[in-house]
Structures are given as structure tokens and as C-alpha cells.
Amino acid sequence: MPDPTDPRRILVFGATGYTGDLTARALVARGARPVLVARNRERVTALADELGGLEVAVADATDAGALRSVVRKGDVLVSTVGPFLKYGEAAVRVAAETGAHYLDSTGEGTFLRSVFERWGPVAAGNDAALMTAFGFDFVPGSLAGALALEEAGPTATRLDVAYFVKGFGTSGGTKASIAGMTMEEGFAYVDGAVRRVRAGRRTETFEVGGRRLTAASVPGSEHFALPAAYPQLRDVDSFLGVPPGIARGMSATTLLTTPVRRVAPAKRAALAVAGRLVKGSTGGPSAELRARARCTIVAVARAATGEALATVTLAGPDPYDFTADILAWGAVSAAEGDLLGVGALGPVGAFGLDRLTAGCAAAGLAPLA
């Protein structure tokens, strides 16, 4: 067991990637001295030297044995090694089995579902907490949803959460994750349980800045995180803001590709094609581009009849900057012993609504005035 008087180590896995680099810098800005973990010793050492002589370790994303030699019980492991369906399992497995707290930056529904359903019980048995999708995907929706539910009260049994971004650029890793997700099954929280549904099965409009904007349904961590904190919920949907034509095309595409997704050889072939067309780890938007981006998150708590009982709108910065800052906040908070439980936890379940609200505000996300 680690000495409780000593601070837990924070490890950033995938530190030389786009999101990993931003997260390492955000941790250092908070006064932390994370251990930087990557597969290329020369690159990770250069980054560690630039950030003040940090400790480094070398491990490949798919090598659980190498990572196991680095991670100790009581550590806080931050994984940024997307696409997570291809590279992410080793990190969450090692954390859960070793007893290390874990956070990641995934937005991939199939992966985050496996964290909640497969690895959460393992982590709980080893006194560790797993906080998947602890970035722009999907912390803002959990916060907005919780605030709307608190305002609406116990009669709110339905929740819709929508994400809108303006001026957003995507990294190579994000593009690779999106390509992979087109061949994965969607899900939502329907009639009191997480059930398999098509991404894009619902298209809705939400008021954003006095305009009605379109969004299509997507799988998210809110489907697991919010019913755990608000057991009166019966239905939860997450949405991504897209133009109406794209929303219709997304719905049609996920419908037409259903046979491909459910036949293993066809799915493998489609993923291989996507992997050749979209490469990961190709960098991302510059600081100047990120400075121009803004996000808006809308949560609508509803009665069983569909009547809107409360609406909360949050506004924030570029998704990558928010992801790095909230991962750094979550990792430092976990290292300081501020977690409220073990197993797979949503943001509210991990830190409580008040602390989460403060942490998101420090990362630039706050209720729209």
C-alpha cells in the first residue's frame, strides 16, 4: 500500500500525442510533476526536459506487460492513447487490476461502455476508481444534466443533453476515433436500462444563443453516469450538434451499415479500410485556432410526458483545451484523495456536484449568463 502521507504519482500515458502533450502541460501548470509515459524514449524525454525535468517511462500502448511494470497501486493513470478501441484497453486493464485510479480522454461509446461494465467491477475489487470519457467527451453533459435535474426535482425522469462547437479543429487521433466509431453499435439509456440503439436514431433541435440548432443522438457516458447519481431517470439521450443534412445522413448511414456492424468479417474489413484512410497521431489545431473555438452544452430535464421542466446551458472554451484542463483537475483531485467512491464512476459520482462545478469553472466551463 502507498504511504497515505505521500502524494500519489500521476502518470500521463500517451504523453507525446496531441492530447497527452496538452494534458501534461496542464498538469505542470497546476503544480504537478507527472510521470510521462510513451513508446518513444527520445520524444518523451525531450518533452519531459522541456517541462522541467519530469520523470519518464517507456511503454507501448498495446503492451500491458510493459505498462504493468510502470504502474503501481495507488497511482493515478491518465490515458490519452486514442483511438481507444484500438489502443486503450491495456491502460484501463492494468489500472483496474493493479488498483490505480484511472482517467481517460475517450469519446468512443463502445470503449467507455466496456470501462463501466467490464472493468468497473474489477477496479472496485482493488479499491480503484475508473473515470472514463473525462474530457469534453463527456464531462460537460454530465455537469449540465446534473444541474438541470437538480433544478427540475424528482419528477424529472427524462434528460436530453446536446453538445455544440463553433470553430473546432480535429486532431488526427480524433479523426481516427470517429472513423472507428462508425462501425460500432450505439446505445442509450432507454426505459431504465442501457440498451443497444443506432447512433443518429433521434434528431432534435435545441435553443443556442437565440437560434434553434439541430443535433443527432450519439452514445455517451451520461447514459451510465447520470442514472447512477439520479435513480429516478428512465431515459437519457446525448446529442451532437450537426447541420440538418448531416443529421439525416448520419441516421441513414447507421441504419444502412447495421448488417456490416453485426457481421464480424465485414466489420473487420470496414475498419481496415477506415484505418488506411484516416491516420491517428497527426497533430491537431494550433493554439491560435483553439483560442477561437467555443462550445455550448444544453441539458433539458423533462417529465415523463416530455414536458421540459428545467434547461441549463453551459458555455466554454475549445474542446481540446477543456479536455486537458479537466483531466489535469481530475487527476490532481484524485491524487489528493478527493474521490467519493471506487469502481467505474461518472464525474458527479466521483467528485460530487459542487466540486465538479468548481473544477469545470476553473477549466473555463460555466453556466451561460
Q: Which domains does the chain have, with CATH numbers?
A: 10-136+320-354+363-367 (3.40.50.720), 139-319 (3.30.360)
> What is the Cα–Cα distance from 96 to 73, expressed in whole angstroms?
9
> What is the Cα–Cα distance from 29 to 325, expressed in whole angstroms?
9
88 in Cβ contact with 64 (< 8 Å): no
Three-class secondary structure of residue 101 per DSSP = strand
Burial of 156 by CB count in 10 Å (0-12 exposed, 13-18 middle, 19+ buried)? buried
Beta strands in the chain (DSSP E): 10-13, 35-38, 56-58, 76-79, 101-104, 129-131, 158-166, 187-190, 193-196, 203-208, 211-218, 235-241, 294-302, 308-316, 343-344, 366-367
Instruction: Give the pLDDT score at 105.
Output: 96
Instruction: Give the pLDDT score at 368.
Output: 85
Polymer length of the chain:
369
Other Cβ atoms less than 10 A from the Cβ of 321: the count is 21
Q: What percent of the chain has pLDDT over 70?
A: 83
> What is the Cα–Cα distance from 347 to 142, expressed in whole angstroms?
7
49 in Cβ contact with 73 (< 8 Å): no
> What is the Cα–Cα distance from 346 to 229, expressed in whole angstroms?
8
Element spanning 303, H or E: none
Element spanning 60, H or E: none
Instruction: Provide the β-strand partners of residue 11.
Output: 35, 77
pTM: 0.88
Instruction: Give the pLDDT score at 275.
Output: 46
Angle CA 109–216–278, to nearest 5: 55
Instruction: Give the pLDDT score at 246.
Output: 63
Q: Which residues of the chain register pLDDT less than 50?
A: 1-5, 172-183, 251-252, 254-278
Instruction: Provide the β-strand partners of residue 187.
Output: 196
Burial of 367 by CB count in 10 Å (0-12 exposed, 13-18 middle, 19+ buried)? middle
> What is the Cα–Cα distance from 181 to 203, expressed in whole angstroms?
19
Instruction: Give the pLDDT score at 369.
Output: 67
Read off the C-alpha cell for 150.
437538480
